[in-house]
Amino acid sequence: MISMRYHIVSITAVFLALAVGVVLGSTAISSRLLSGLTDDNSALGKQVADLQTARNGLNAKLADADRFATTVGPMAVKGLLAERTVVLVTTSDAKPNDRDALAELLRAAGASVTGELQLTESFVDPRKADQLRDLVARLQPAGTQLPAGSDPGTRAGGLLGALLLLNKENNQPQATPDEMAAALAGLTSAGFVKTGQGLRPAQLAVVLTGGSLDGDSAGDRAATVARFATQLDRAGAGTVLAGGEGSANGTGPVGVVRADTAATSVVSTVDDVGTAAGRVVTVLALREQLEGKSGRYGVAGNAEAPAPGAVG
């Protein structure tokens, strides 16, 4: 007769055999698995190293190209804007180095830079849109009219266009010095703009901005800058909206303009002003504006060509 002890010993033996089998099997599998993972890791490490080498090589080539463009840029644009005046309008995220390099290149092209006006964070803040619209209406110079658009960018572009740009028909100021001083003082006191010393009206304008914007209201802020630049163009002889890397994205001012057919028929855009080549293209686009033409230039996918006259 089989005893209870026999049953217990038998069951224990079965479970022990299963445990040993699992351990032995998992050890063999683990060895093969670890060996495979090691091989994969080595292959991936080599791919990463190769990609880093390629990236370093591309960066070196880009640096060489930028140095070359910096060297030949002044010669390439020499005389293109002779006896022309240009005002710089910058956003709060525009890089000072880009501004300074662009101003220097404009002078190399023969232009006189009449000053700088900076648009602050408050200017593009959707929460202050109503305040900006109301202030613009109160500061509008006599004899000028605000545009029909109700958005703050268009309305502010109408006001600042009359202050910063000369009449393209007769090359005369569109506001008196007192009207200009009063309007700029009002916008400055409200925190919407910052003005540089000696600012005076010009024939042409460059709106210099950074890259794509971040945050929940990024689209609205980019649209304010885009519509401002478009309306500014309509007020004078020409305007170029120039942005840095990422500016041609959906949340970048350049990208917003390029998504609007009516805007692209008026204002020119450049999406790589952070490079020496992009700044040369900005000057070329400004010259093209004098001829009544516009275009989308740069390296982004929604650019039509690298530069005016080049095949995209």
Pairing outcome for strands 204-208 and 238-242: parallel
Residue pair 233/295 in contact (Cβ under 8 Å)? The answer is no
pLDDT single digits (tens) 244-295: 999 999 899 999 999 999 999 999 999 999 999 999 999 999 999 999 999 9
Please determine, for residue 58, whether its predicted confidence score (pLDDT) is greater than 70: no
Instruction: Mean pLDDT check: name the lowest of 44-48, 57-61, 150-154, 240-244.
Output: 57-61
Please determine, for residue 64, whether its predicted confidence score (pLDDT) is greater than 50: no
DSSP string, 234-303: HHSSEEEEE--TTTTSTTSHHHHHHT-HHHHTTSEEES-TTSHHHHHHHHHHHHHHHTT---EESSSTT-
The rounded distance, in Å, linking the Cα atoms of 1 and 138 is 111
- pLDDT score, position 86: 98
Residue pair 160/139 in contact (Cβ under 8 Å)? The answer is no
- pLDDT score, position 148: 82
Q: Which two tokens stand for residue 69?
A: 């463009």
User: One-letter amino acid identity for 173?
Assistant: P
Q: Which residues pair with 116 in a beta bridge?
A: 88
CB-based contacts of 219: which residues, under 8 Å, 6+ apart? 213, 250, 251, 256
Please determine, for residue 127, whether its predicted confidence score (pLDDT) is greater than 80: yes
pLDDT single digits (tens) 218-250: 999 999 999 999 999 999 999 999 999 999 998
The rounded distance, in Å, linking the Cα atoms of 64 and 59 is 9
- pLDDT score, position 1: 46
Q: Which two tokens stand for residue 306?
A: 């690298």
The rounded distance, in Å, linking the Cα atoms of 56 and 60 is 6
Is the whole-model pTM more than 0.85?
Answer: no
Residue pair 204/284 in contact (Cβ under 8 Å)? The answer is no
The rounded distance, in Å, linking the Cα atoms of 257 and 235 is 17
Closest alpha carbon to 289 in 87, 81, 147, 109: 81
Please determine, for residue 30, whether its predicted confidence score (pLDDT) is greater than 70: no
- pLDDT score, position 9: 46
Across the range 62-89, mean pLDDT stands at 81
Please determine, for residue 69, whether its predicted confidence score (pLDDT) is greater than 70: no
Please determine, for residue 311, whether its predicted confidence score (pLDDT) is greater than 60: no
Element (H, E) at 89: strand 85-91
- pLDDT score, position 22: 47
pLDDT single digits (tens) 157-174: 999 999 999 999 999 999
Q: What is the DSSP letter of 151?
A: S
Closest alpha carbon to 112 in 124, 122, 104: 104
Closest alpha carbon to 289 in 224, 232, 228, 227: 232
Measured torsion, CA atoms of residues 204, 276, 210, 83, in degrees rounded to the nearest 10: -10
- pLDDT score, position 63: 55
CA distances from 134 to 129, 138, 227, 250 (A): 9, 7, 17, 28
Q: Which residues pair with 269 in a beta bridge?
A: 241, 296
Measured torsion, CA atoms of residues 45, 51, 56, 58, in degrees rounded to the nearest 10: 180
The rounded distance, in Å, linking the Cα atoms of 197 and 193 is 13
CB-based contacts of 74: which residues, under 8 Å, 6+ apart? 105, 108
